Amino acid sequence: MFRVFRKVLLFSLILMFLLVDTGYASKDIRFWGMRVFNPERPFGLVNLKLAIKSFEIVSVDKKGVAYKRSSRTTDDSISCYAVSDIKGVVMVVFNNSKMPIEFNIDTDKYYSISKDGSFYKLTPTRKTYPETLNPKKYVIVTLTLNDISYTDIEYLMVLIDNGRCCIFLKQIKK
């Protein structure tokens, strides 16, 4: 499974570079994360402190992302990679679970979180917004920044599937 994830990650990286018209040496900022949840309240946004403690990015290389996680508060079968630059955020959401994930542009929520812990809403692009993410597939979501510079973003948080799936992304430090 990890081998498949590496291939999908590599393909997605190449695709994102083309979509956001950036190269690796540019001033973009990369993020990676997975589904996080509060065991006592499995739906809705997760407390920021709990989300931060749920997993740690250990290293990033050509093979992918290595991480340590809490199996009590995370589900790594749903993961996400994102690139942010002056134009906005491009996310690739991977579904390696057995269930489809529903998207609804009117109810899904996307947030950038600044270094001081403030939340800023991100706006998805309507014409390319997905409806369903089937198992063993991925989707690309393009977001517009509102009221925050991409250089001030420390984390990203996504709430999809009618509030049943919260994905938390941490900045990949270069």
- DSSP calls for 20-57: HT--TTSS-EEEEEEEE-BTTB-SSPPPHHHHHHHEEE
Residue with tokens 């994360």: 33
Task: Please tell me the pTM assigned to this model.
Answer: 0.84
User: Which residues have C-beta within 8 Å of that of residue 24, sequence separation ≥ 6?
Assistant: 17
Q: Strand 101-102 and strand 64-69: pairing?
A: unpaired
Among 137, 112, 138, 134, which residue's Cα sits nearest to residue 124? 112
Share of the chain above pLDDT 70, in %: 84
**pLDDT of 121-130, one tens digit each?**
999 999 989 9
How many CB atoms within 10 Å of residue 3? Answer: 9
**What is the pLDDT, as a whole number, of residue 44?**
77
Among 116, 97, 101, 99, which residue's Cα sits nearest to residue 158? 101
**pLDDT of 97-121, one tens digit each?**
999 999 999 999 999 999 999 999 9
Reported confidence tier of residue 25, pLDDT bands at 50, 70, 90: very low
